[in-house]
Amino acid sequence: MKTPEAYIESLRKLNLNVYLFGKRVENVVDNPVLRPSLNAVAMTYAMALKPEYAEIMTATSHVTGRTINRFTHIHRSVDDLVKKSKMGRLMGSVTGCCFQRCVGMDALNALSIVTFDIDAAHGTSYHKHFARYLEYVQDQDLVCDGAMTDPKGDRSLPPHQQSDPDMYLRVIEERKDGIVVRGAKVHQTGAVNSHEIIVMPTITMREQDKDYAVSFAVPSDTKGITYIIGRQASDTRRLERGRMDRGNVSFGGHEALMIFDDVFVPWDRVFMYREFGFAGRLVEQFASYHRQSYACKVGVGDVLIGAVQTIAEYNGTDRSSHVKDKIVEMNHLNETLYCGCIACAAEGHRENSGTYSVDALLANVHKQNVTRFPYEISRLAQDIAGGLVVTLPSEEDLRAEQTGPWLRKYFRGKADVSAENRMRILRLIENLTLGSAAVGYLTESMHGAGSPQAQRIMIARLADMKHKQRLSWKLCGIKDDNAADTGDRQDPGNSSGQNKP
């Protein structure tokens, strides 16, 4: 397993084509806007080397038998699925942001299932390709970016009917040694912190869209790939001399638009090619895993709740009954989220490939809750913290000779709490609920792993309504849903023995 230092040095060796604020980024590793997101990924390596977290953060490879980082592991039991949820909460709590390796882990596990199923149906050799690729990822302890979401253009039209055919990533050329692809992937979290890019289709495909039914993996610095970094609220605070106004002084995240400008992919790295009937299967399998992965929001919630308890104590309001009750509600909502990610793991099952998958219905229910509860937790946090979350002067004002004494005088809370510490915790609350970290806590909670409606569609599809109906029919005496009205049925204990259900 890599050390954090080895991971950082491995990124220095990559020749990524990255743009930020309209200019090419020559040094991705040391760029002050991007470095906090790299630090968050580095923590996934650091935590795996700590003996006290080894059970959660590491696993035994079923391929080589060696100890590996759990972020490169293929789930082989329900216990693995449960530990994945625990790992997500742990990492969210130590970084306070998105740590970016879940999507690659979920892509690997989804492909371990679907490549096996495609081979069984079509006699292809994708699973063999995938197994070799997996061993490479595990041996090198690599960060993989799972690239699923396409720009989509006109959402009312399928890929082949788009006015611009590149709105969904597609194969434009087949060669003897591989394929050439063109298109883009959007919302790519942690993309420039990744060694590998794993591409998957984003929707169910029909035969007319078979050129879009493609999955493959390429190194992140492959010729033809360009990254354009997205803006975040307060992101330029990372360029300022002080660090206090960041809120989270060390960690953060980033997203990117990823362009594939005629990128070549060798056959041994192709995991799906025109098997359009399995595109939807891969999307749904990945989505179920990734909706479980929002255990990370529970960990970030732990951080926010801790910050709110702290500001309440600093303000002298921690003993007020309404404040205590609001913090109880924040904990209630956060732990309810944890129940969901543990439940879908505990109800997991074995697929034909030997990989264990989560319960898809419960995973979608969990993610549906994630689209709501963090917003209420954040509302309560801002309620308790007060207006200084949005009116606080800068760290520069705190350090300035003329203004600093006034801030230290008037921004004290309780007498034994410094104004600086009070400002620091307020900045963290701002960061988590409004600033750059809110991208990973709120907006990502809403749209990551699919929009809220995507989960509702899956819940409607997966909930066994006929079973629920039959349960009710049995208790009230209906024989079947087409039964004619025969009048009231008597209790089964009727001594006459007539009209028993």
- Which candidate in 227, 294, 314, 356 is catalytic? 294
Alpha-carbon span 11 to 447, nearest angstrom: 28
294 is catalytic: yes
Q: Which residues of 25-53 are buried (b: 16+ CB within 10 A; e: fewer)?
A: beebbebebbbbbbbbbbbbbbbbeeeeb
Look up 98 and say whether it is catalytic. yes
Which two three-digit tokens encode residue 481?
């849903």
Could you tell me the two tokens for 470? Answer: 């039959």
Question: Among 72, 129, 255, 441, which one carries the catalytic annotation?
Answer: 255
Helix axes 102-122, 279-292, angle to 10 degrees: 150
Question: Tokens in use for 431?
Answer: 């960061």
Write out the DSSP string of 404-425. HHHHHHHT--STTS-HHHHHHH
Residue 366 appears among annotated catalytic residues = no
Q: What are the b/e assignments for 82-98, b being 16+ CB within 10 Å?
A: bbbbbbbbbbbbbbbbb
Nearest one of 266, 167, 258, 283 to 218, comparing CA atoms: 266
Judge whether 411 and 419 are in contact, CB under 8 Å.
Answer: yes
Backbone angles phi, psi at 299, to 5 degrees: -65, -45
Q: 296 catalytic, yes or no?
A: yes
Name the catalytic one among 73, 129, 187, 290.
Answer: 290
Asked if 174 is an active-site residue, the reply is no
Question: Which of 262, 278, 79, 286 lies closest to 173, judged by CA?
Answer: 262
Write down the catalytic residue from 44, 45, 102, 341: 102
187 is catalytic: no
Name the active-site residue from 97, 296, 341, 344.
Answer: 296
Exactly one of 95, 115, 189, 371 is catalytic; name it: 189
Integer CA distances (angstroms), 36 to 2, 39, 177, 435, in order: 19, 5, 39, 14
Taking CA 346 as the corner, what is the angle to CA 295 and CA 285, rounded to the nearest 5 degrees? 70
The answer to whether 189 is a known catalytic residue is yes
Kindly name the residue from 98, 144, 341, 344 that is annotated as catalytic: 98
* Rounded to 5°, angle at Cα 200 from 194 and 203: 140
The answer to whether residue 102 is catalytic is yes
Distance CA 297, CA 334 (A): 8
Give the 3-state secondary structure of residue 187. coil
Instruction: Report which of 19, 41, 407 is spatially closest to residue 245, judged by C-alpha positions.
Output: 407
Residues with a catalytic annotation lie at 98, 102, 189, 255, 290, 294, 296, 444
